[in-house]
Amino acid sequence: MIKWLTRPTDYEPVWQDMRAFTAARDACTPDEVWLCEHAPVYTLGQAGKPEHLLNPGAIPIVMSDRGGQVTYHGPGQVVAYSLFDLRRAGLFVRDYVRLLEDAAIGTLSDFGIADACRQPGAPGVYVPYGDGGHVAKIAALGIKIRNGYAYHGVALNVNMDLSPFLGINPCGYEGLVTVDMATCGARQDVKTVGERLAERLLTALPPPVRRDAAG
């Protein structure tokens, strides 16, 4: 199931709704992807270090329960919250991270950005930038697993004001450049990109793993 939230929407109510959905679900609950654009906000993961907030200005800061360091959400970026039952799909965390990255890389390729890639030890999706083999980040991941159920997800920069990323060390990396699809020559609207990303996320889920009754 794919569901669009009101755009733009504040971060904290969506976060609390994800937590409530996850706490209430069971082995029969269908997986969902929630799509949204957030009002401007900086979020820090559970291990987030305040020193990576360089100049937040008037943008609100939220301490979240996802993994990772600090990132920015704002209009022009699509956030796909993947509410998945990883046990039912037979996915380990490493597999799930790869699924999220693959979905973002595939979506970018669908819109003409064929050189998106991973970086070892740095979750997310990157594109070549400048000379000398440098890369810039175009999609960020943040996940939380509770009782085998995943929430949070992936944020893909579509066509946004990138200046707030200058107020942080994105994902905890000093000097990391952040770009969007428009910077890469792919001008698309958030709704079109979001729906493609959600479709790729859902179709990438493996069929449920059979759980035979004991005995």
Catalytic residues: 171
Q: State both tokens at 213.
A: 């009754």
Helix axes 93-110, 190-204, angle to 10 degrees: 140
- Tally Cβ neighbours within 10 Å of residue 209: 10
**Which amino acid, residue 28?**
C
Q: How far apart are CA 117 and CA 127, in angstroms?
A: 6
Q: How far is CA 52 from CA 26, 44, 171, 210, in A?
A: 37, 9, 8, 44
Q: How far apart are CA 8 and CA 21, in angstroms?
A: 21
Backbone torsion region of residue 121, taken as left when φ is above 0, otherwise alpha when ψ lies between -120 and 50, otherwise beta: left
- In the DSSP assignment, the letter for residue 195 is H
The three-class DSSP label of residue 43 is strand
Q: How far apart are CA 24 and CA 1, in angstroms?
A: 17
Is residue 125 within 8 Å of residue 104, measured between CB atoms? yes
